[in-house]
Amino acid sequence: MERLVFRSFFCHLSTFQLIWFMAAGMLCRAQVVTQDVRERLNTPASLRCSLQNPQEVLIVTWQKIKAVSPENMITFSKNHGVVVQPAYKDKINITQLGLMNSTITFWNTTLEDEGCYKCLFNTFGAGKISGIACLTLSVQPTVSLHYKLSEDQLNITCSANARPAPMISWKISGSGIENSTEILVHPNGTTSVTSILQIKDPKSQVGKEVICQVLHLGTVTDYRETVNKGKRGWAKLAVVTFVDTHLEGGERASQRPVSKGADKDENEAFGFQFPCC
């Protein structure tokens, strides 16, 4: 989402002065364009800042916005080039060298890099003109889907770990189904969501498909299991299908079986674990 930031330096003018400076109206409104960015954690990320109206810029400064006061990170000027503060050496650099357009790049993002940043254009005559760009970091879901089957009960568990927190829903038919959800926030910034279905009449699910849907950042991924009764009593057969819903409108781009198998021991859990997207 782009931001337009306006700064006026003729703030208190008389009527005569306003008429006198009418021809310099464009200088009274300096426009800065920035764009918020979302990137995956532990990957490079870039923030851009552009001063739209012509100005005589002396130096460009990037600051990290903090609770107490902004912290200087890096500057660029014609006289001194790029100057990086010690705390940010080997972490960031200015990858677009310019006094009207500036880009900083984080080489390998960490949780501490998430937040908002201010770009300051220090100009001759107009003073400091600023814009703000925000960086949000995400982690793609890792999903675990498994079930435990006996003659009197079927438990199906779907777990997803991601940043921001994913949402889990089910597509299943039948009665006598109970659902419980657990949420756990980890120190690394990710959140695990675990949803457990308890089916008291497992025979009603024989031959039926159960779908665990994981929603993350607007993308829905389906994970499927089908329970069948084997020749020697109760056996387990799971077919998991990855559904790519990255296309607009939720259109399914591909369906591919991930794994399938059977287990003769009815009391032993059976499942698959695989990364999403």
pLDDT of 247 reads: 32
Mean pLDDT for the stretch of residues 61-84: 96
Q: Whole-angstrom Cα distance, residue 1 to residue 242?
A: 31
Distances (CA, A) of 79 to 58, 60, 99: 9, 12, 12
Mean pLDDT of 206-218: 89
**pLDDT for the residue 151:** 74
What residues have CB less than 8 Å from 148, skipping those under 6 apart? 154, 155, 267, 268, 269, 270
- Supply the pLDDT for residue 199: 87
**Cβ atoms 202, 151 nearer than 8 A:** yes
pLDDT over 60 at 182, yes or no: yes
pLDDT at 224: 86
Tell me the C-alpha distance between 110 and 144, whole Å: 25
pTM higher than 0.75, yes or no?
no
Model pLDDT for residues 56-70, shown as the tens digit of each residue: 999 999 999 999 999
Query: DSSP string of 3-63?
Result: EEEEE-S--S--HHHHHHTGGGHHHH-EEEEEE-EEEETTS-EEEEEEE-S---EEEEEEE
Range with lowest mean pLDDT among 83-97, 144-158, 224-238: 224-238
CA atoms 51, 57, 59, 63: torsion sign? negative
Complete domains list, the chain, with CATH? 2-125 (2.60.40.10), 140-275 (2.60.40.10)
Cα separation, 142 vs 264, in Å, equals: 28
